[in-house]
Chains A and B, each alone.
Chain A
Amino acid sequence: MKPARFAYHRPRAREEVDRLLADLGEEAKILAGGQSLIPILNMRLAAPTHLIDINGLEDEPVEPGLADGVVTLGPLVRHAAAEGSRLVADQLPLLAQTLAHVAHPAIRSRGTVVGSIAHADPAAELPAAIAAIEGEACVRSTSGTRSIAARDLFVSHLETALEPGEWIEEVRMPVQGDRGSAVEEFARRQGDYALCGVVALAARRPLSRVFVTLAYIGMGPVPLCLELPELSPSELAGAPLEDAVRELAHERLEPEDDIHASARYRLWLAERLGVRAARRAAALPEKR
């Protein structure tokens, strides 16, 4: 199908975007990479009266930046640019690992990191990644700017804590330091929405204990973060990790039945993928 008609605005500066959103209100949608929005328009699941195409913004960074131990991503940094970035590979491998699972190469050419986070699809990978690493979204409007912690940003399915008139001008993620990371997904086709996915971040604690955070993809209305108890290397390699993941997964995750898989199967996947990702993030070999 084809999109319904809309008025098209192509601002050149962030301030112009603020004013357009203030003037046009709920009738306007921001068009960045368009890889989630245009399918919705094509299927006429939405028909906004105005589109604000931010691809014409001038002097915007197209590559990730680094400032004070934080990786910064402007609104026009494409998935492919972040995925191929030396800076991201060195400072935030979690992001590069996550991007490898985001859709397909042709989608990653156009889609933006900020756009995917603003879209807040709980089945998408990037919201889970920014929640795992406890990044933040810098938002702005004609009233000014503020920052929202990633774990407060996602309110429900496709819904964020942004107020009317606000938009995300930058996403920030702290560098990883010596924390290990891994991403595990099970999808019917490489790059498709996963039946279940998980982003794991492992921090070394005193006495060689490890603190693992698991951020789940597609297991509830928002990315769900599970913080495991601190575990020793032998506990990570054995049943204590498996028991901890099982207990938290059953308590916190909210998988649903659909045509592709039952909720019960998804929960089973969540346990297995969570255990595997935790071990990989902690750089411990997966027990076969």
Chain B
Amino acid sequence: MMYAGPAERVSITLTVNGDVHELAVETRWLLSDVLRHQLELTGTHVGCEHGVCGCCTVLVDGRPARSCLIFAVQADGADVRTVEGLAGRDGRLHPLQTAFRRHHGLQCGFCTPGFLMAALPIYREAPAMTDQELRGALGGQLCRCTGYVGIVEAVRAAAAIEAEGDAT
């Protein structure tokens, strides 16, 4: 059995966007805060910090999860993907990002990292989804400025943009 006292730091290994990090974290530290403050990956935004807004959504072992509702110590050994992992190392945008740009899927951009990460596991199936299914899949993300029409259109278009990119 593992035990850590209230102020004690625990060593964890976190793979983020393919890079392996050895970290010492307090048990009460949230994954969102460790990503932002320890790893300086500030693309993951923190809105409500109780699981409602969806801004802090990242992929944990391939599945979307609220990084504000996981303690970093629980993510020991996990493979995490954040919005910083979307664009290529050369800065070339991911097809989802290109789609958001083309379809006006963002305005202030605060919610965008969460939307992108929530859409990442599903965008290839999105063209075949009904509007209700797609909106349901993105329903955990709040946007307070654009409304959702552009966002839904962007997610629906991303697979085609990816195919275009592969053709060129």
Stretch from A32-40, A148-156, A157-165, A175-183 at the B interface: A32-40
Q: Is the CB of A6 within 8 A of B1?
A: no
Contact A7 B65 (CB under 8 A): no
A37-52 CB mask vs B (1 if < 8 Å, else 0) is 0110011000001010
Q: How far is the CA of A109 from the CA of B51 in the complex (A)?
A: 13
Q: Is the interface of A mostly helix, strand, loop or mixed?
A: loop
How many residue pairs link A and B with beta carbons under 8 A? The number is 102
Binding-face segment, B79-87, B105-113, B134-142, B158-166: B134-142
Interface check A191, CB cutoff 8 A? yes
Q: Provide the B26-38 mask, 1 if CB < 8 A to any CB of A, else 0.
A: 1110100100000
In the complex, are the beta carbons of B66 and A189 less than 8 A apart? Answer: no
Please tell me the size bucket of the interface on A. 35 or more
Given contacts A42-B30, A109-B63, could you give 19 more A-B pairs where the C-beta distance is less than 8 Å?
A2-B30, A5-B26, A6-B6, A6-B28, A8-B10, A9-B2, A11-B1, A34-B74, A39-B51, A49-B6, A80-B63, A103-B140, A104-B139, A105-B137, A106-B118, A107-B66, A109-B60, A110-B66, A189-B139
**What are 26 A-to-B residue pairs whose CB atoms are below 8 Å?**
A1-B49, A2-B30, A2-B33, A4-B28, A7-B4, A7-B6, A8-B3, A8-B4, A10-B1, A34-B71, A38-B71, A39-B51, A49-B6, A51-B27, A104-B54, A105-B118, A105-B140, A106-B57, A106-B63, A106-B140, A107-B51, A107-B66, A109-B65, A110-B60, A191-B136, A191-B139
B residues lining the A interface (CB < 8 Å): 1-7, 10, 26-28, 30, 33, 49-51, 54, 57, 60, 63-66, 68-71, 73-74, 118, 135-137, 139-141
